[in-house]
Amino acid sequence: MGEPICIKDFEEFAYKTLPRNALDYYRSGAGQQETLANNKRAYSNYRIRPRCLRNVAETDISVTVQGEHVSMPVGISPTAMQRMAHPDGECANAKAAQDMGTIFILSTISTSSIEEVAEAAPRGIKWFQLYIYRDREVTRQLVSRAEHAGFRALVLTVDAPFFGLRLADIRNKFVLPPHLKLANFQGTKSTDINKSKAGSSLNDYVNSLFDQTIEWKDIAWLKSITKLPIILKGILNFEDAIMAADAGVSGIIVSNHGGRQVDTWPASIEALPEIVKAVGDRVEVYVDGGVTQGTDVFKALALGAKMVFMGRPALWGLTYAGEAGVKKILNIMKREFESTLAISGCARISDITPSMVVHKSYYAKL
Ligand SMILES: Cc1cc2nc3c(=O)[nH]c(=O)nc-3n(C[C@H](O)[C@H](O)[C@H](O)COP(=O)(O)O)c2cc1C
Ligand SMILES: CCCCCCC(=O)C(=O)O
């Protein structure tokens, strides 16, 4: 293969290179993986209706997110255990995002610690993704460490009280390779996913340590222990979006967890419009899942997202060349989005209007 020039090229490289245990963990969706496939396919159900003769000589793709200047509306979603893709793992990913001026979200389940990532990318806009542990002291400490390390927001994942059934991980009896650790928990029982079990060790980990009792009232608890803005990740309908806004969160990531939790949940882009309609002006709305092209970014923004995030593409970039690989991925997305924007008649993001993206049925009806 020559130099990769689109996200699919990086994916193909990773599929040929990564060990089976890691590749299957990264690529899998839940069940028969319909939602996983649909996340991508659903973008093809939308068409861009371009405008012309609108002076696009100079383009600006920067955006303000949670009050901060971000160079492009594409950031990096939290994905666990990135050192299986590259020895520098999350540190390399965060550095690439810093260099590109965009947001990096660190997973609780990372193989580089909060402090290591902060040291690697001190100037980057970093958000910390939080899972709430039954042991609230563990949770409290994660929050406090993220605050001290300069993370600027907490992303509370609300779609994973239990772990989705990912068949390949169960068949492979997934274990984290012995040279790697869950770096935020050195020396505690929360590190224990290196040992072989009957099925995937991930299911055991989540089911025994995450707090399945959390409810809307726990958002108030989280707010009481932090000053950071709270963003809920994993909302897929307007009812929950309204409750999130009522609970005083600062943002929502419309997400089905990359199709990894329950198969046949809607594609994220399908769920986005009803959420934007319900809460668009009250909280910032972002989306992830299946974003692999600049045209996807344009569509998501026209449908009301402020920003999109990508999970797996960054893992494929890491696999290819660590920090440089993720930078290449982000540069490709930047170039593709700039090209889509300008050639469709927009010089800046505020020029994108809802009427510029329609469901494909619009044309069937004409
Ligand atoms: C390998 C992998 C690990 C993930 N780990 C986490 C995690 O630790 N926390 C979380 O909130 N979401 C996690 N996610 C979900 C991502 O944050 C994101 O929602 C999803 O990957 C977006 O879809 P995409 O991969 O098609 O871009 C993970 C996804 C993948 C693929
Ligand atoms: C060790 C448990 C892994 C938990 C969560 C990681 C994740 O969210 C995923 O989708 O995988």
Q: How confident is the model at residue 189 (pLDDT cuts 50, 70, 90)?
A: low
The pLDDT value recorded for residue 197 is 63
Cα–Cα distance for residue pair 149/276, rounded to 1 Å: 32
pLDDT tens-digit series, residues 85-100: 999 999 999 999 999 9
The pLDDT value recorded for residue 67 is 98
User: H helices within the chain, ranges in order?
Assistant: 7-17, 20-27, 34-44, 89-100, 114-120, 136-148, 167-172, 201-209, 217-224, 238-246, 268-279, 294-302, 312-343, 361-365
| 69 classed as catalytic | no
How many angstroms from the chain centroid is the CA of residue 315? 11
Angstrom distances, CA of residue 162 to CA of 15, 150, 193, 326: 27, 29, 16, 30
Check whether 132 has a pLDDT greater than 90.
yes
pLDDT tens-digit series, residues 208-253: 999 999 999 999 999 999 999 999 999 999 999 999 999 999 999 9
Q: How confident is the model at residue 62 (pLDDT cuts 50, 70, 90)?
A: very high
Check whether 270 has a pLDDT greater than 60.
yes
pLDDT tens-digit series, residues 105-121: 999 999 999 999 999 99
Q: Is the CB of 257 under 6 A from ligand 2?
A: yes
Residue nearest to ligand 2 atom 7, measured at CA:
80
Q: What percentage of residues in the chain have a pLDDT greater than 70? A: 98
Q: How confident is the model at residue 204 (pLDDT cuts 50, 70, 90)?
A: confident
Check whether 188 has a pLDDT greater than 80.
no
Residue nearest to ligand 1 atom 19, measured at CA:
257
Check whether 366 has a pLDDT greater than 80.
no
The pLDDT value recorded for residue 194 is 75
Q: Is 35 annotated as a binding-site member?
A: no
Please report the ipTM that was assigned to this predicted complex.
0.99
Q: Is the CB of 176 under 6 A from ligand 2?
A: no
Check whether 191 has a pLDDT greater than 70.
no
The pLDDT value recorded for residue 200 is 76
The pLDDT value recorded for residue 284 is 98
Q: Is 311 annotated as a binding-site member?
A: yes
Q: Is 294 annotated as a binding-site member?
A: no
Instruction: Indicate the burial class of 348 (C-beta count within 10 angstroms; 0-12, 13-18, 19 or more).
Output: middle
Residue nearest to ligand 2 atom 3, measured at CA:
202
The pLDDT value recorded for residue 190 is 56
Pick from 79, 184, 318 the residue to mutate for probing ligand 1's pocket: most ligand atoms within 8 Å of its CB: 79
The pLDDT value recorded for residue 198 is 62
**Token pair in block for residue 327:** 């930078």
Q: Minimum-distance ligand to the CA of 293?
A: 1
Q: Is residue 279 a contact partner of residue 241, using CB atoms and an 8 Å limit? A: yes
Which helix (H) or strand (E) segment is 126 a member of?
Answer: strand 125-130
Going from the Cα of 162 to the center of ligand 2, the distance in angstroms, rounded, reads: 10
The pLDDT value recorded for residue 80 is 98
Check whether 203 has a pLDDT greater than 90.
no
Cα–Cα distance for residue pair 65/220, rounded to 1 Å: 23
How much is the pTM? 0.98
CA-wise closest residue to 21 among 185, 202, 264, 158: 202
- Beta bridge partner(s), residue 288: 309
Q: How confident is the model at residue 321 (pLDDT cuts 50, 70, 90)?
A: very high
Q: Give the total residue count for the chain.
A: 366
**Single-letter amino acid code for the residue at 222:** L
Cα–Cα distance for residue pair 42/70, rounded to 1 Å: 27
Instruction: Indicate the burial class of 363 (C-beta count within 10 angstroms; 0-12, 13-18, 19 or more).
Output: exposed
**Token pair in block for residue 122:** 């001190």
Q: Mean pLDDT across the chain, nearest whole number?
A: 96
Cα–Cα distance for residue pair 47/40, rounded to 1 Å: 14
The pLDDT value recorded for residue 193 is 74
